[in-house]
Amino acid sequence: MKNALLVVASFALIFGFMFASDWYKERQAEKSSFMAQENAETFIREHSEALGSDDAKVYIVEFMDPACETCAAFAPFVKQMMAKNPGKIKLVLRYAPFHDGADYFVTMLEAAKKQGKYWETLDAMFTSQPYWASHSNPQPQRVWEFLPAVGLDMERLKKDMKDPAIAKLIAQDIADAKTLNVHKTPGYFVNGRPLQEFGYQQLYDLVQSELQAVYQ
């Protein structure tokens, strides 16, 4: 009898927890899709770099960090999805430089943007990431070895990296990440709906459901 009560109480706690989690996530999703309608600029700022057609109706907003391994792993996956649905998906990159010293790479990326080599530089950073972003032995300076291959004017890059506007833009992105409850990278929103369970399949499903909703 007493042990039965113990079992019942345990189940009640576990189910209560699961119910509360679902309820909370649902509420967060509602809140964020409301924000996507009311305050679109929290998701996409003037300075945000985007890839894909302007006519695309499905917007993937990704909060990322150039030093984040999972961001590097997801980059080709997202591009594949875009290639499979030409003109329908637009990718917007936002910064959430949570790794130590990641601002440095964001600054570098923003300076590369001024030379029109944003995506090429990002690709080079992602592919060379194991060499400079190792957790046991980070060597941020080594990233420079991989940049000339992109075709960047290195002197100009160094000069552009001193632009104070870049620090402001990073601060804005970090503030927006906080508003949108992004604590981990990459953080995805598809047309304002957050990716709740993290994973390739989950992101794929979320994008598919938005594609179907908008393009039938």
| Per rule CB under 8 A, count of chain residues that contact another protein | 16
Q: How far apart are CA 129 and CA 152, in angstroms?
A: 18
Q: Smallest distance, Å, CB 17 to another protein?
A: 5
By residue count, the chain amounts to 216
> With CB under 8 A as the contact rule, which of the stretches 73-81, 104-112, 143-151, 178-186 interacts with another protein?
178-186
**Does the footprint of another protein cover residue 4 (CB under 8 A)?**
no
Determine the residue type at 192. Answer: G
Q: How far apart are CA 216 and CA 213, in angstroms?
A: 6
Q: How far apart are CA 67 and CA 82, in angstroms?
A: 23
Q: Smallest distance, Å, CB 64 to another protein?
A: 17
**Does the footprint of another protein cover residue 21 (CB under 8 A)?**
yes
Place of tokens 């997202």: 78
**Does the footprint of another protein cover residue 16 (CB under 8 A)?**
yes
Q: How far apart are CA 125 and CA 106, in angstroms?
A: 10
Identified binder of another protein from the candidate list 8, 11, 19, 24, rule CB under 8 A = 24
Q: How far apart are CA 180 and CA 44, in angstroms?
A: 12
**Does the footprint of another protein cover residue 8 (CB under 8 A)?**
no
Identified binder of another protein from the candidate list 9, 73, 149, 214, rule CB under 8 A = 9
Beta bridge partners of 63: 94, 187
- List of residues contacting another protein (CB under 8 A): 2-3, 5-6, 9-10, 13, 16-17, 20-21, 24-25, 181, 183-184
